[in-house]
Amino acid sequence: MTTYGDDVTRYAYAITKNREQAKDIAQEVFLKVFHSVGTFRGQSSLKTWLFSITRNLAINEMKSSYMRRIVLFGWVRPQKNEQSAEMNYFTEQSVRDLRVIIMCLPNKLREVLLLTLEHELTMAEIAKLINVSEGTVKSRLHRARKIVNSKWRDIEP
C-alpha cells in the first residue's frame, strides 16, 4: 500500500473524476488484495494487477445506479513549488487548465493518457490492463495527445 497507494488512488480518480470516491475505491482495492493475494499468479507486474482491480472496481462503481443519480465534483490540486507568487499562479493555472482538458477527454482516451503519463505503464501493460490490443492503445494515446495539444493551443495566449 505504501508503494502503490498514491498510484492506485490517482488511477481511480482518473476514472471517477472524484477525489473522495477514488480514495474509497483505493481502500477497497487494498482490502480485496489483502483477502486474495494468494490468487496473484504473477502473469503481470504487481502494479498492473492492482490497476486491473482498481479499474474493475471503479467501472463497477460508476455503473451503479447510485452513481448515475448524483453529480460528482472535485479536482486534483497541483503541488506548489518554491517560486514567486506570480509564477506560482501561472503554473497552477496552467496545470489546472491542462487537467481540465485531460479530464474532459472521452474515458477511453483519458485512461490511456493518464496510465502513460502519471503511472508510466508500457503500451503492453496498458493493453493487458484494459483488455485491448497494443495497436488500439497506441491509437488512443495518439488521439488523446492530438486533442490535448489542439485544445491547449486554443487557450494559450
What whole-number distance in Å separates Cα of residue 84 and Cα of residue 107? Answer: 36
Nearest 10 degrees: Cα torsion 57, 130, 36, 29: -40
54 vs 87, residue with greater confidence:
54
For 78-96, how does the pLDDT look when each residue is reduced to its tens digit (9 = 90+)? 454 456 677 766 667 777 8
Nearest to 26 by CA among 53, 47, 48: 53
For cell 496473484, the residue is 40
Burial of residue 121 (number of CB atoms within 10 Å: 0-12, 13-18, 19+): buried
For 128-152, how does the pLDDT look when each residue is reduced to its tens digit (9 = 90+)? 999 999 999 999 999 999 999 998 8
Segment (H or E) for 85: helix 85-103
Verdict on whether the full-model pTM lies above 0.85: no
For cell 483505493, the residue is 26
- pLDDT above 80 (res 114): yes
For 1-33, how does the pLDDT look when each residue is reduced to its tens digit (9 = 90+)? 889 999 999 999 988 888 888 999 999 999 999
Torsion sign (Cα): 117, 129, 21, 9: negative
